[in-house]
A and B are shown apart, each in its own frame.
Chain A
Amino acid sequence: GEDVEQSLFLSVREGDSSVINCTYTDSSSTYLYWYKQEPGAGLQLLTYIFSNMDMKQDQRLTVLLNKKDKHLSLRIADTQTGDSAIYFCAEIDTDGGSYIPTFGRGTSLIVHP
């Protein structure tokens, strides 16, 4: 099965909050990330969280980490049409020594005016 799982689609109205969820299986993950991909482009890092943290806030973005359930979420406050993109959750296994980033399938966020 997949190491990182996400739902494929999320649709919200402009101005509402968006919450994108992710679950992961690697218990040794030290870093967990959220990337944003706009159409036809590469991935850009939005934010990351260390596995010894529960929450990280960065302007409109809030990341919550539940280590017990291996659940990561990204909340975007006051969602704008420019936030429409694919959002990827990713982890890097540092304990195993491989350091290879593993990505979820990506969640397509559609923001309606």
Chain B
Amino acid sequence: DGGITQSPKYLFRKEGQNVTLSCEQNLNHDAMYWYRQDPGQGLRLIYYSQIVNDFQKGDIAEGYSVSREKKESFPLTVTSAQKNPTAFYLCASTFLEQTEAFFGQGTRLTVV
């Protein structure tokens, strides 16, 4: 079955450590997106990529980094520079000129 998979579902990180969240899709989608969700703030765009080896900053890119070496994969690294990383992270993908965005089940990151 086609879909988009995020792992892990829960992640704990000590302050000062980098951590990488995985996002993989087998839908042959061109574009992939990372959103951060905080209570009452909806979804805020961190980074997006519309083609392999290219990505763009979203509204809140500071303290995050991404790579797009393969069409299927768009990992997000939360660096120690991100001041308030505890949040729910959602990955999505779409065809470039298509409508519907498909979402993964999310990763809840907690900094301890």
Q: Which residues of A contact B (CB under 8 A)?
A: 8, 31, 33, 35, 40-45, 48, 88, 90, 92, 94, 99-106
Chain B contacts to A: CB under 8 angstroms: 6, 31, 33, 35, 40-43, 45, 48, 50, 90, 92, 94, 96-106, 108
Chain B interface mostly: strand
Residue of B nearest to A89 (CB): B42
Q: A101-B92, A103-B42, A105-B42 are in contact. Are A31 and B99 (CB under 8 A)?
A: yes
The distance in angstroms between the C-alpha atoms of A35 and B106, with both chains bound, is 15
| A40, B42: Cβ atoms closer than 8 Å | no
| Number of A-B residue pairs at CB separation under 8 A | 55
Max chain A CB contacts within 10 Å: which of B31, B35, B42, B103? B42
Question: In the complex where A45-B100, A48-B99 touch, is A88 in contact with B43 (Cβ < 8 A)?
Answer: yes
A44 to B4, CA, bound (A): 12
A104 to B41 CA separation, bound complex (whole angstroms): 8
Question: Which of B35, B40, B41, B100 touches A33 (beta carbons < 8 Å)?
Answer: B100
